Structures are given as structure tokens and as C-alpha cells.
Amino acid sequence: SPSTAESRTLGYSDTRRRCARRDATRDGDAIPSAKRRDARDGGLARSLAKAGRTTGEIATTTRRLERAAAKARANASARASDGRKNRVRARRIEVGGNGKRAEKVELTCGKVTLELNLRHYETLKTRWRGDARRDEDGFHRAVFCVVARYATLQGTHYKAGNMQAAIPPRVFETLEKRFDVRCELFASPLNAHFKEFCSASAMTDRAFGSLGNAFDFEPSEGSFECNPPFDEEIISRLAGHVERLLSRAKKPLSFFVVVPLWHDSRGWMRLAKSVYCVSNTTLEAKEHAFVSGAQHSRIDQLTPSAAPTSVLFLQNKAGEKKWPVTPEGVAAIREAFAPPKKEAERVEKWDPDATSWSCSRRLPKDANSWVYKNKKRDQSVDESPAKKTKKKKSAGGGLAASFFRD
């Protein structure tokens, strides 16, 4: 309703102003400076120690990263004024076999080429705060920076790791319908379901509507979804942040939190045992699913989780009264998380022709994906299988090593 939308906007206005003032005086999440240490240094040291590195190795690694960061910052500053080198070329391409093809957009800046699905490219157009029709070059630079930043966080190679997975669209729809959730605290312009979201890279993401870093976002009211990276340091920090906000809030405030079921984790223990925790539900392994974290460049179905997950509601008294967590509501969330049954038609494959974030078309039973749904093997001739030739795998749009050398 108009009144609800108006109150929600007013509720976030103070936070938006604080974020704007903060970004005017610092570069937020830009390349870390070698002269300024922060909490991330301690987290890195603890992670390296847990991996078995010695104190000397940790110190050496940290110094090397600081020098690399300083060099990258200097290179970025030197190239910032060179319009020719900053120009991003974009072209539409098709991938896939015969029949149904998936459309993508290829972005090239210098020697680096990245790609994303056409559907996500069009969504970024609607999110961009500028006018993509009048300033196409500016829009393409902004998109390239977003995709490059998250490719770098992922490791720039298809073997380096995965992006943070997202919860299924049906879960978002259930949360919005039953608990008035309209903002995500851990998302990106590439996977955000709602218009309002926080993200890890405010410097590149704010142009597409990001509210900034989740830990700098301090709402006094509202209902929010939190699906943080499954990292013990981040989850522990989130627990403290949420408890502090709830202890201060006088108006209704609610957080829906999705974290792995880590009984021995300090962060999980703090969330589960919090005085503000009104509901703690366990989703067993293979009984729930997540969406690929790299959905902007892939056509993936929901992937069943290989480990149990905890979904929790943390609310103050006013939030508990306004958005009560009932058994029916929890059951609806559990159902929305469920992976598609093997014997049923696959409805969660990302349709490259879809115009919204949720898939609306059904994929035939015998098809593995939309790209190959019309491709059939010719079995009319009985012949011995040809010897397979080993082909070099493609990085799938990831950054080349030359990105860092250049």
C-alpha cells in the first residue's frame, strides 16, 4: 500500500543519509591501503593460522598482500583519467547447442573480457541510477566494474571457489508475503531479489541501489533477510550487529537469518541462544536448496544443500507482535526451500528468456537445461565411440591472470 511504502522509505532515509556522508569522506571498500589496517587483517591471520600456517608465514603473506594492494591502488589511480583505456565495449552473444540458445552480453575493457546473462544485464539497466540510454558508456563501465569486482572476490577462475549462494526466489516471495521482508542485508546487484539491499562492495554497487555494507546499515525498524557468507568471522560479527540493533530499537524490527548449522561456532551459538531468537528451524541436508552464486553467468537449477542449514528469526517485542512467527509460516518457508523432486518436471532451471528474477516456464523432463533441451543424440548409426580428445576448459568469463599483471 502507499502508506506502507512511504513509511518504509522514511524508515531508511536516515540510514541512507549517514551512508552518503560516510562515502563522501572515505572510499569504503576500495582496495585496502597498506597504511591502514582494519578488522579484516585479524580475520585473515586467524584463517591462515587455522589452515596450518606459521606466524612467520602469516606475516610474510600479509606484507605481500599489502604491497600488492598498494601497487594496484597506484595503477588504478594512474589509469583513472585515461578515457581510452577505461572504455568498455559490449556485444551480445549466443551460447549453447542447436535449438534453444542462451543470450549473454560480453564486456571487454582492455585485455579483460567478462560476460553475464542478458537477463541480468537488462535487470542492471533498471537498477542503475543513471540513464543507460543517454550514457551507455557510463553504464557499461559501471556493469564491468561490478562483474569484475565479484569475479575477483570469487578467485577469477572456475576452480578457485564459488560465489555466495542465494536463497530461492520462492523463499523471498514467502518472506515478503508473510513477514513483509523487503530488504536484503547480504546481496549484490547481480543477485538481489529486492530493490533495497546491502552488499560487500559499496564502491561499485551503490550506482545500482546498494545501501552499502551490511555492518554500516543501522535500521531502527523494518523486516530484513540476512544470508551472510558462510564464514565464522562474518556470522559472529552479524550476531553482534543484529543484537545491538534489536536492543536499541523501539519500533518493530525483525531479521530472518540463514546460516549453516555449526553447533560449535561462536556465531551460531550467539544467534541460536540470543534472547531475541523467537524461532530456530533446521533444514536437513538435501531437503533444501540454494541458487548458484554465479547465477549472472550460468544457467543453473537449484542445488540441494550438502549440509544442514539453520533458519532463524530474531525480533524485538514490537517486531514479534507485528510479524508473529507461526508454525504455518515456518512450514511455508520450509516448503519454499525444498529442492524440486526428481520425478517432477524441473521448474527451477533458469530460463534465459525470462524477464524477471523468477523462472516462469517449465523445462521438459528429459532435458538437462534450456540450452540443450532440443539437442538429441543421433542413434541411427551403430558405430564405435570416437576417442575423446582432451579439451582445455574455459574459465567461463572469469578474469585472466593478465588482469593482475597489467
Q: Residue 254: inside a domain, yes or no?
A: yes
Q: Residue 290: inside a domain, yes or no?
A: yes
Residues 57 and 173 in one domain: no
Residues 74 and 174 in one domain: no
Q: Is the pLDDT score of 64 beyond 80?
A: yes
**pLDDT, position 100:** 60
Domain count of the chain? 2
Q: Identify the weakest region by mean pLDDT among 4-13, 67-76, 116-125, 317-326.
A: 4-13
Range of the domain at 64: 23-80
pTM of the prediction?
Answer: 0.70
- Could you read off the pLDDT of 99-110 as tens digits, one per residue? 567 788 999 998
Residues 180 and 69 in one domain: no
Residues 67 and 184 in one domain: no
Q: Is the pLDDT score of 399 beyond 70?
A: no
Q: Residue 268: inside a domain, yes or no?
A: yes
Domain ends where: 64, 80, 96? 80
Q: Where residue 83 falls among pLDDT bands split at 50, 70, 90?
A: low
The answer to whether 337 touches 168, Cβ cutoff 8 Å, is yes
- Determine the Cα angle at 145 with ends 295 and 156, to 5°: 60
Residues 190 and 69 in one domain: no
Residues 54 and 177 in one domain: no
Q: Identify the weakest region by mean pLDDT among 39-43, 165-169, 216-220, 276-280.
A: 39-43
Residues 66 and 197 in one domain: no
Residues 292 and 191 in one domain: yes
Q: Is the pLDDT score of 180 beyond 90?
A: yes
Domain ends where: 337, 360, 384? 337
Q: Residue 163: inside a domain, yes or no?
A: no
- Alpha-carbon span 90 to 163, nearest angstrom: 24
Q: What is the mean pLDDT of residues 263-288?
A: 95
Q: Is the pLDDT score of 368 beyond 60?
A: no
**pLDDT, position 219:** 96
Q: Is the pLDDT score of 358 beyond 50?
A: no
- Backbone phi and psi for residue 206, each to the nearest 5 degrees, phi listed first: -65, -30
Q: Is the pLDDT score of 197 beyond 90?
A: yes
**pLDDT, position 42:** 74
The answer to whether 330 touches 308, Cβ cutoff 8 Å, is no
Q: What is the mean pLDDT of residues 113-134?
A: 86
**pLDDT, position 45:** 85
Q: Identify the weakest region by mean pLDDT among 1-10, 77-86, 162-171, 188-197.
A: 1-10
Q: Residue 38: inside a domain, yes or no?
A: yes
The answer to whether 83 touches 99, Cβ cutoff 8 Å, is no
Q: Residue 350: inside a domain, yes or no?
A: no
- Alpha-carbon span 368 to 301, nearest angstrom: 9
Instruction: Provide the CATH number for the domain around residue 273.
Output: 3.40.50
Q: Where residue 353 falls among pLDDT bands split at 50, 70, 90?
A: very low
The answer to whether 311 touches 348, Cβ cutoff 8 Å, is no
Q: Residue 225: inside a domain, yes or no?
A: yes
Residues 42 and 180 in one domain: no
**pLDDT, position 5:** 40
Count of positions (residues) in the chain: 406
Residues 75 and 173 in one domain: no
% of the chain with per-residue pLDDT over 90 = 39
Using alpha carbons, select from 320, 227, 244, 336 the residue that is nearest to residue 279. 320
- Could you read off the pLDDT of 293-346 as tens digits, one per residue? 444 444 455 678 889 999 999 999 999 999 999 999 999 999 999 987 753 334
- Alpha-carbon span 229 to 248, nearest angstrom: 25
The answer to whether 101 touches 95, Cβ cutoff 8 Å, is yes
Q: Residue 244: inside a domain, yes or no?
A: yes
Q: Identify the weakest region by mean pLDDT among 115-119, 204-208, 340-344.
A: 340-344
**pLDDT, position 359:** 36
Residues 75 and 180 in one domain: no
390 or 383, greater pLDDT = 390
373 or 56, greater pLDDT = 56
Domain ends where: 281, 305, 337? 337
Residues 74 and 185 in one domain: no
Q: Where residue 390 falls among pLDDT bands split at 50, 70, 90?
A: low
- Alpha-carbon span 42 to 57, nearest angstrom: 14
